[in-house]
Amino acid sequence: MRFAVLFILLSAVTASGQKVDRTIAVTIDDLPVVSTRRDLNNRIEITKKLIGHIRKAKMPAIGFVNENKLYSGDSRDEKQVDLLRMWVDAGLELGNHTYSHRSLNAIQLAEYQADLLKGESVTRELLGRKGAKLRFFRHPYLQTGRSMELKSQFDAFLKRHGYIIAPITYDNADYIFSRAYDIAFDKGDPELMKKVGEAYVPYMEAKLEYWERQSMKLLGREMSQTLLIHANFINSDYLDDLAAMFKRRGYKIVLLAESLKDEAYQLPDTYIGPAGISWLHRWARDKGREFVVPDEPEVPEFVLKLSGFESE
């Protein structure tokens, strides 16, 4: 009986009855914390809870850091650096998300590259103490440049500095939910927080199901997915529910480096539009608009309104 249960937990079966081995990498942006709850105690609490969920689910996650959050004025704030130490002490990998989270579509390449290098010093130091190396880079807003010439210049820069681009496939708007959750908290309205939280996991599941279909449409198979979420308030309360949802769908959570071994990630990224979009949509658009799966799930209206974001 125990074996039968284990089999159900570890396997997913498609509509045609075929068993699939699903894998997913969890990447968490805007470390140490992104929330309107700015005081240190809240930031410590959010960090502790996030890492608690990660540990409980034995989830090999990577966090992408904005080091400007580690300074007050010109001086390094060790209390903020301690938040990052908690990630590293939990055995988690860190990556570079630039110092000040500006868009490659909005500033000059030279300025962007300087901001990227400015954003690696503390992260490199903390990883170095554990014998680990800084190897991944994530573009803020997933905005990757408006011309192929700029993209190839930047690629050469990344290569020179030993970075690998961290793409994502499983795009979503967790930040809109988290803003709504922050606002409900600030209003002192736990009922509303609960309502937002309870809409979050079904939304994330609908999104994942969408990206599974998008992968099937483009590749004829389910590729290893890469999830982007943020180090925010709602995930500090719901990351364990997300992890349970992944397991229920037959996913094994793997390291980013492991997920990227899927050969689909070798497809070129030729997207030079203004948006920050999933790599699955980049590749699908490259092949032809008819390969983009329609009706991507949207954030529920009440969450969108509460968050103050005009549109996703």
Point out which residues bind Zn ion (CB under 5 A): 29-30, 140
> Which is nearer to Zn ion, 29 or 237 (by Cβ)?
29
> Which is nearer to Zn ion, 29 or 182 (by Cβ)?
29
| Closest residue to Zn ion using C-beta atoms | 29
Minimum CB separation of residue 194 from Zn ion in Å reads 27
Minimum CB separation of residue 30 from Zn ion in Å reads 4
Minimum CB separation of residue 103 from Zn ion in Å reads 10
List the structure tokens of 13: 């079966």
> Which is nearer to Zn ion, 215 or 307 (by Cβ)?
307
List the structure tokens of 51: 């890492």
3 state SS for the chain: CHHHHHHHHHCEECCCCCEECEEEEEEEEEECCCCCCCCHHHHHHHHHHHHHHHHHCCCCCEEEECHHHHEECCEECHHHHHHHHHHHHCCCEEEECCCCCCCCCCCCHHHHHHHHHHCCHHHHHHHHHCCCCCCEECCHHHCCCCCHHHHHHHHHHHHHCCCEECCCCECCCHHHHHHHHHHHHHCCCHHHHHHHHHHHHHHHHHHHHHHHHHHHHHHCCCCCEEEEEECCHHHHHHHHHHHHHHHHCCEEEECHHHHCCCHHHHCCCCCCCCCCCCHHHHHHHHHCHHHCCCCCCCCCHHHHHHHCCCCC
Minimum CB separation of residue 11 from Zn ion in Å reads 34
Minimum CB separation of residue 229 from Zn ion in Å reads 11
Minimum CB separation of residue 29 from Zn ion in Å reads 4
> Which is nearer to Zn ion, 97 or 282 (by Cβ)?
97
The H helix count followed by the E strand count for the chain is 12, 11
Minimum CB separation of residue 228 from Zn ion in Å reads 8
List the structure tokens of 232: 């925010």
> Which is nearer to Zn ion, 215 or 232 (by Cβ)?
232
Give the 3-state secondary structure of residue 1.
coil
Minimum CB separation of residue 125 from Zn ion in Å reads 21
In angstroms, what is the C-alpha Rg of the chain?
Answer: 19
> Which is nearer to Zn ion, 219 or 228 (by Cβ)?
228
> Which is nearer to Zn ion, 231 or 284 (by Cβ)?
231
> Which is nearer to Zn ion, 140 or 250 (by Cβ)?
140
Write down the residue that tokens 């390449």 correspond to.
109
